[in-house]
Structure 1
């Protein structure tokens, strides 16, 4: 494969878009955690699935952190590819660009895992409603 600035330029729109998605997920997750915290501390309200929710939130935070971390490495590797091309180090630029693609793939895999965990969290919220509906 012949690599040049055009190939690396393909990643520039993708990386900020995916980082925006991750930032929105992180913001939503932090808002949810603050809301649950306030309900617990100020209103002394503890839902029945409290422990499961905490475990789920901790998993989501960890997985989302890894998603963001690998996307950031992907962005860094993409910039290093441009720098390698600038220095006319084609072999090194190819290796670094491969690292960029690999980092982005790992980031997306972690994001898919986070979506599965968040789906489980939604099921936890529905479970208490399901119990009340059956009664």
Structure 2
């Protein structure tokens, strides 16, 4: 199978949309962290502290997701450059590495979603505890 310039370019729309989604997640979490931090300073409620710790882990994961996604795009461009230069074998390796980074980015995304469900469970448990009182 020959690798053409069109093959790596197929990842461009997918990576761009993923990076946009990751940025939106990051901005939403940053806003939530600021709100929770202000509330925590006033109340020192333990559940807020757990939520903030959870959000810290999620922000680190999003950072990794963004880095892996951007690295994937960079390697795709490098692969296209090598193809343009007539170096198909190195271009294949670079394109393969870009696919690995994309898989890493998606795996981190799944992990971040898993952690976000934990955060929601913390909030729901607090609501249920308040209802029982």
TM bin (shorter chain): over 0.9
Shift of 1:47: 3.1
Give SS of 2:43's match. Answer: coil
Q: How many pairs were matched up?
A: 133
The RMSD of aligned alpha carbons is 1.2
What is aligned with 2:75?
77
Shift of 1:128: 0.8
Shift of 1:53: 1.3
Gapped runs of 5+ residues in structure 1?
Answer: none
Quote the Cα distance in structure 1 between the aligned partners of 2:68 and 2:82. Answer: 20
**Pair 1:36-2:58 in alignment:** no
**Pair 1:97-2:102 in alignment:** no
TM-score, structure 2 as length reference? 0.94
Question: 1:11-69 deviations in whole A, cap 9, x for unaligned?
Answer: 1111100001100000000000111122234xx13334123112211211111111111
What is aligned with 2:6?
6
Quote the Cα distance in structure 1 between the aligned partners of 2:86 and 2:12. Answer: 20
From 60, 63, 77, the equivalent of 1:62 is 60
Give SS of 1:4's match. Answer: coil
Contact 1:48 1:128 in 2 (8 A): no
TM-score, structure 1 as length reference? 0.93
Shift of 1:70: 0.3
What is aligned with 1:123?
121
**Pair 1:114-2:112 in alignment:** yes
Gapped runs of 5+ residues in structure 2?
Answer: none
